[in-house]
Structure 1
Amino acid sequence: MSSSPSATASARGTGLAGLVVGLCWLAVLFDGLDMFIYGSVLPHLLATGTFGLTADQAGDLGSYATFGMLVGALTAGTVADRIGRKKLMVGCVTLFSLASGLCALAGGAEVFGLGRTLAGVGLGGLLPTAISMVSDYAPRGRAALTIGVLMTAHHAGGILSACVAKWLIDPVGWRAAFWVCVLPLLFAPVLARFLPESLSFLVAKGRTEEARELATRYDVELPVAKSGKKSAADRWDALANLFRGGEWLQTLLYWCASFGGLLLVYGVATWLPTLMRTEGYALADALTFVVVFNVGGIVGMLIAGRAADRFGAPRISALWFALTAVGVYLLGVHLDQTLTMVIVFLTGVFLNSAQTMIYATVSLRSTPDNRATAVGWTSGMGRFGAVFGPWLGGQLLAAGNGDWGFTAFAITGVWSTVFIGAAALRSVKPGVRAGSGQELVGSH
């Protein structure tokens, strides 16, 4: 029996939407590769004395990229509103690819640091833009699932970074790893050619017919035009609402939890292979731990939302952070290698999705008109933790306290457990279903 024309058109549209999601997934994969590559080559840089690098300087360099990500994340929305999300994604991929080339060519720590900072700007701008893009083009009824799948690409990039380091550093040298990170530059023209413009951007710019034609072709819903653009006063009023009445305490609890969560995410991502080296593991084994950690991150992203749907995002976030603290602490105990692999995997499962559940919690407790502000500021405050995490690891190693590295990160896990747990104990607003975690899958 032949398919009806409408069914055929729907299937074709779903396939085209899948292409958009696939392109965004690859872009985020390259984002993850570029983000994690520094941590993967860092043990070699320190062991060989490249650039005369000391542990505290290495921590500073790690923070340069996360500071750049802070700048990129804060400016991405404004730039995207002006030039469109498609152009911004192409620009971000181009920027972090060329910046990696600068790192590969660097003759000193200053130029290398500049390259990492510029790469961070591109990395910070890409992820939220890609999430917005797939939200527009996700198959009908699968927006949350699609964003969750997109987030797995970041951890797949972490796996790829460890593999690149294992394959290239010994036979070719550390610069080759950064040259691999330049290859996504070849992907930028592919994005420019095949990625459509964001539907939300087109609608906001009054290009409604163009947006409607794309929505029909890709078989997705057309975003509803906003009634009006918020003025600066409106935006500041939305921020002030986070502190009115009893909300100030809840807001600060979320911000403190997010600070600790992103400190953990980026601190562990930067220093995991180096800290495992200080525990006596060979470089190849330390890089294998990075692979296992990110495999755990992928699994965690796929199960966290379901767990939050059943038990509530705040409870899951608090429990996940507590289990992360235990796991990170145990990494500082030299156990049987197989058992250590299991602990690394479980730590990856809990750590990466614990932060995501903070965003889900904030989204659930916010009113629709204040949700974007609440989530954005929670993420923004967390970014300061992302800058602090790599620096903290470097300072501990430089002071000869490398053994305290995992302990310090474990304490941070307890920190976030306490703050998100305190938020979970406060009553949920009327009309908000505590067990739902689908409104936001979130990003780092």
Structure 2
Amino acid sequence: MSDYSIRTSSKSISAARILTSSGFGLLFDSFDVGLLSYVLVSLSKQWHLSHTVTGLVASVSMIGMAVGSALAGSLADKFGRRSIFLWTLLIYSIATGLSAFASGIGIFFVLRFFVGLGLGGELPVATTYVLESSPETVRGRRVVYLEMFWAFGSLVAALVSFFVIPSAGWRVVFLIGAIPALYTIVLRFALPETPKYRGLQKRPSMGKALKQVWSGGLARRSMVTWILWFVMNYVYYGMFLWLPSVLSDKGYSLVHSLGYSLVMTLAQVPGYLTAAWLVEKWGRKRTLVTAMFLSGLSALGFGFAQTTAWLIIFGLLLSYFMLAAFAGTYIFTVEQFPTVARATGMGWAAGFGRIGSTLAPFITGWLLGAHLGYGWVFGIFFAVMIVGFIIVTTLGYETKGVDIK
């Protein structure tokens, strides 16, 4: 099997087509998450929301993502990766489009839950799909390339927010996010089910698949990946959803806050590219734990930065290492489980991790509202990341070069 294509029973599907069709789903996922962080700055002023309520808006999305990740992962092992991917993307598209017409915070809460439901479900299913459709020798690199679409989505969100929100308002950007996502569904219809999934002799029930990931030798792997996802989600969403607001609170205007956030976002792509090279050279675990440790140090530096120059420097380092760590998280997690329960293992780990992303925006908003200080707030992110670093370093299982069944 070549690096550039996979054979199906009737045709050859190029790697570029697999990555593009699957990756655009992640791009829109990232676009929405990044978009929300910018929208919250404008929304909180227009609807006069406190820090605590603003944090709750983000947390509702994460609750939806938690449910979506676990549910879609289990469904994908039972009914296939392709069909569940399509359903999750459709739910996201409709809910995002309707968000543009929200008349108050109540309906906005409801719609954000369904947006999260679609987003959370799509991420583990797309990752599983690309892994199972890739040659063994480059599967790690392929998965990281897939996750790189997340960085592109963050960049698009920053660009759209920078140019659209100040002039046209926040409602327009939700419409921009919904319409292209519908086209991705059309692209995804052209792809077949993965060879590994089609080759399964028996597909277990959802309950048996979940029981399997917590039995025998997989229990330790599940524990490590669940903790890993909690840590990564807590730190990432706690910091990046609040990044424009933090800059705004430090005295920068909305335009300058969005502009500085855009500059910081540019570091995400090289972070992914570095991880794509290292996971095949160094290994999944070593790449992951190194990026986690350096992300923690960057968070600490950002929290104590006093000048614009240092804010941007540490913001760039934070984006670079944090996204490299997330790239490592995806490939590290999805390779821990066998095909028969892979989407379940991936989905439930990601779903449990969403508890971290649910708590982080709210807790961060509460801490900022209590005037604790950015040094303390980002010091907490550093401490949480170091805990995850220690657990993965001591208990994590390396899968580089291991034949996944």
Change in 2 beyond 3 A, CA 1:337/1:111: same
Change in 2 beyond 3 A, CA 1:439/1:175: farther
In 2, the alpha carbon distance for the partners of 1:89 and 1:143 equals 20
In 1, the alpha carbon distance for the partners of 2:54 and 2:155 equals 21
Which residue does the alignment assign to 2:240? 269
In 1, the alpha carbon distance for the partners of 2:190 and 2:226 equals 38
TM-score (norm 2): 0.84
Amino acid at match of 1:42: L
Do 2:70 and 2:344's aligned partners in 1 also have CA atoms closer than 8 Å? Answer: no
Structure 2 gap segments, 5+ residues each: none
Do 2:65 and 2:117's aligned partners in 1 also have CA atoms closer than 8 Å? Answer: yes
* Aligned-partner SS, 2:85: helix
Residue 415 in 1 paired to residue 390 in 2? no
Which residue does the alignment assign to 1:67? 63
Which residue does the alignment assign to 2:105? 109
In 2, the alpha carbon distance for the partners of 1:120 and 1:86 equals 19
Structure 2 counterparts to residues 348-363 of structure 1, below 5 A: 348-358=319-329
Amino acid at match of 1:55: H
> Shift of residue 388 of structure 1?
1.0
Which residue does the alignment assign to 2:27? 29
In 2, the alpha carbon distance for the partners of 1:57 and 1:183 equals 28
* Aligned-pair identity (%): 24
Do 2:96 and 2:174's aligned partners in 1 also have CA atoms closer than 8 Å? Answer: yes
In 1, the alpha carbon distance for the partners of 2:17 and 2:212 equals 39
Which residue does the alignment assign to 2:317? 346
> Shift of residue 188 of structure 1?
4.7
TM-score (norm 1): 0.77
In 2, the alpha carbon distance for the partners of 1:72 and 1:129 equals 10
Change in 2 beyond 3 A, CA 1:184/1:360: closer
Structure 2 counterparts to residues 220-239 of structure 1, below 5 A: 224-226=199-201, 229=204, 232=207, 235-236=210-211, 238-239=213-214
> Shift of residue 41 of structure 1?
1.5
Change in 2 beyond 3 A, CA 1:144/1:337: same
Residue 42 in 1 paired to residue 37 in 2? no
> Shift of residue 412 of structure 1?
2.7
Listed one character per residue, the Cα deviations across residues 103-129 of structure 1 (whole Å, up to 9, x for unaligned) are: 211111011111111000010111222
In 1, the alpha carbon distance for the partners of 2:304 and 2:119 equals 33
Do 1:149 and 1:302's aligned partners in 2 also have CA atoms closer than 8 Å? Answer: yes
In 1, the alpha carbon distance for the partners of 2:181 and 2:127 equals 20
* Aligned-partner SS, 1:169: helix
Residue 323 in 1 paired to residue 289 in 2? no
> Shift of residue 271 of structure 1?
0.7
Q: Which has the higher contact order (CA 8 A, sep 6+)?
A: 2
Return the match for 1:332 from 303, 307, 321: 303
Do 2:73 and 2:348's aligned partners in 1 also have CA atoms closer than 8 Å? Answer: no
Change in 2 beyond 3 A, CA 1:174/1:232: closer
Return the match for 2:48 from 40, 45, 52: 52
Structure 2 counterparts to residues 15-164 of structure 1, below 5 A: 16-46=14-44, 48=45, 50-81=46-77, 84-138=80-134, 141-164=137-160
Amino acid at match of 2:211: W
> Shift of residue 97 of structure 1?
1.8
In 1, the alpha carbon distance for the partners of 2:310 and 2:113 equals 37
* Aligned-partner SS, 2:168: coil
Range with bigger deviation, 263-272 or 308-317: 308-317
Change in 2 beyond 3 A, CA 1:107/1:13: same
> Shift of residue 194 of structure 1?
3.0
Do 1:35 and 1:123's aligned partners in 2 also have CA atoms closer than 8 Å? Answer: no
Do 2:30 and 2:153's aligned partners in 1 also have CA atoms closer than 8 Å? Answer: yes
In 1, the alpha carbon distance for the partners of 2:105 and 2:168 equals 20
Rg (Cα) greater in structure:
1
> How many residues are treated as equivalent by the alignment?
398
> Shift of residue 383 of structure 1?
2.0
Structure 2 counterparts to residues 243-282 of structure 1, below 5 A: 247=220, 255-282=226-253
In 1, the alpha carbon distance for the partners of 2:330 and 2:209 equals 22
In 1, the alpha carbon distance for the partners of 2:171 and 2:339 equals 47
Which residue does the alignment assign to 1:170? 166
In 1, the alpha carbon distance for the partners of 2:185 and 2:280 equals 39
* Aligned-partner SS, 1:107: coil
Do 2:299 and 2:379's aligned partners in 1 also have CA atoms closer than 8 Å? Answer: yes
Amino acid at match of 1:68: G
Amino acid at match of 1:337: T
Do 2:30 and 2:151's aligned partners in 1 also have CA atoms closer than 8 Å? Answer: yes
Do 1:97 and 1:183's aligned partners in 2 also have CA atoms closer than 8 Å? Answer: yes
Which residue does the alignment assign to 2:357? 386
Listed one character per residue, the Cα deviations across residues 347-380 of structure 1 (whole Å, up to 9, x for unaligned) are: 1111123244355556777789887776555434
Structure 1 gap segments, 5+ residues each: 1-6, 204-223
> Shift of residue 315 of structure 1?
4.5
> Shift of residue 300 of structure 1?
1.8
> Shift of residue 226 of structure 1?
3.9
Do 1:318 and 1:416's aligned partners in 2 also have CA atoms closer than 8 Å? Answer: no
> Shift of residue 198 of structure 1?
4.0
